[in-house]
Chain A
């Protein structure tokens, strides 16, 4: 099972450039979310989705866009990269509490982004 797949694993951007981080899951999970991990700050929620066509903001949404056109894919777009967006980004998927006893989230391996 592939689980949650993120691409690319590493990326270097120049300030002002845009890019899309890809996330795909093959578990037919309704919920997907994006987090950023910074030293000493844990993981912070950027955006999340409860199903195809439905997204919402998390704790730190500024500078990021998302869309969810299919159940499988949840790309994260950086509109105009800034050095403050240098971080490790994780995508996760999970099932709704009402549907499954398997309530834990499954994480991708992460994308390490550096903005210079």
Chain B
């Protein structure tokens, strides 16, 4: 069965410092991996995805993610955090080879202090 793990409930960083939000996955077949962000009382916004190709994927708002097949990881990164990046981040994987739905991790709350 497909699954996603986000090992940290919360990540705290100071503004201007680099940030990493961790994600590991377990899938059968090719992984289709996604990061979404949720601001308070809002829906989920797509950040970036890995389907195939380069292991470093660039997305919205300066975020990027590194796909590592040997470590089955897809960590979200940003070189310089902003206070406005504070939100709940979800890693997700397609639920099956047909891609009919998503399986989500439990989410990581990112808190960026000024």
A residues with a Cβ closer than 8 A to B are: 31, 33, 35, 40-45, 48, 50, 56, 58, 90, 92, 94, 96-97, 101, 103-110
Contact = CB atoms under 8 A, between A and B. Distances in A.
Main secondary structure of the interface of A (DSSP, over half): strand
Contacts of B103: 45
Contacts of B32: 97, 103
Interface string B71-114: 00000000000000000001010110011111111110000000
B22 interface: no
B101 A40 contact: no
A56 B95 CA distance: 13
Contact of B106 (A31, A42, A94, A110): A42
Contact of B90 (A43, A48, A97): A43
B9 A33 contact: no
Given A40-B106, A103-B49, A103-B51, A33 B101 contact: yes
B44 A33 contact: no
